[in-house]
Amino acid sequence: EEASPYTLVNICLNVLIANLEKLCSERSDGTLCLPDHWNFPQEVADRFLGVMTWQGKLTDRTASIFQGNQMKLKLVNIQKAKISAAAFTKAFCHHRVIELDATAVHTDLPIPDIISGLCSNSWIQQNLRCLLLDSASIPRDSRLLFF
């Protein structure tokens, strides 16, 4: 079976990710933001985040790209990402997230902070369909989590 060619969207996303430093401006705190006039449809925004995560490019500095309203995320994949709880909350918890894969995230983002961030958005509380977490992100001294 032959490998299927990259779609034009994937090619564009790879170029965008490879050139984030050139295409984005830097905030005073050192994080990145997209040009104001850029807007991504939800499907492209979800895929953009997924590709960034898969390539290991999702950090506190780059997660800030998702802070504004230029992206409309629903399917958030931050699997194996190394981001802080503060960056997670700022970047993702204002979106209308219906699925979150946070398996194998770095210990800088513990599960209680993920839950707390998600619970800060009443829309997410009512509409989240899928939440993937694993025990690697639970601090040993934490209490049991009850939903």
pTM for this prediction? 0.86
pLDDT of residue 139: 54
Contact 40, 72 (CB under 8 A): yes
146 inside domain: no
Question: Does an H or E element contain 26, and which?
Answer: strand 25-26
pLDDT of residue 4: 63
What's the domain count of the chain? 1
130 inside domain: yes
Q: What are phi and psi of 100, to 5 degrees?
A: -135, 125
pLDDT of residue 1: 46
pLDDT of residue 77: 97
2 inside domain: no
pLDDT digits (tens, 9 = 90+) for 85-137: 999 999 999 999 999 999 999 999 999 999 999 999 999 999 999 999 986 54
143 inside domain: no
> SS3 sequence, 111-126?
HHHHHHHHHCCHHHHH
52 inside domain: yes
Q: Which domain holds residue 16?
A: 8-137
3-state secondary structure of 67: coil
- Region 10-32: mean pLDDT is 95
pLDDT digits (tens, 9 = 90+) for 15-25: 999 999 999 99
Contact 113, 88 (CB under 8 A): yes
For 1-26, b where at least 16 C-beta lie within 10 A, e where not — what string?
eeeeeeeeeeeebeebbeeeeeebee
What is the percentage of the chain residues whose pLDDT exceeds 70?
87
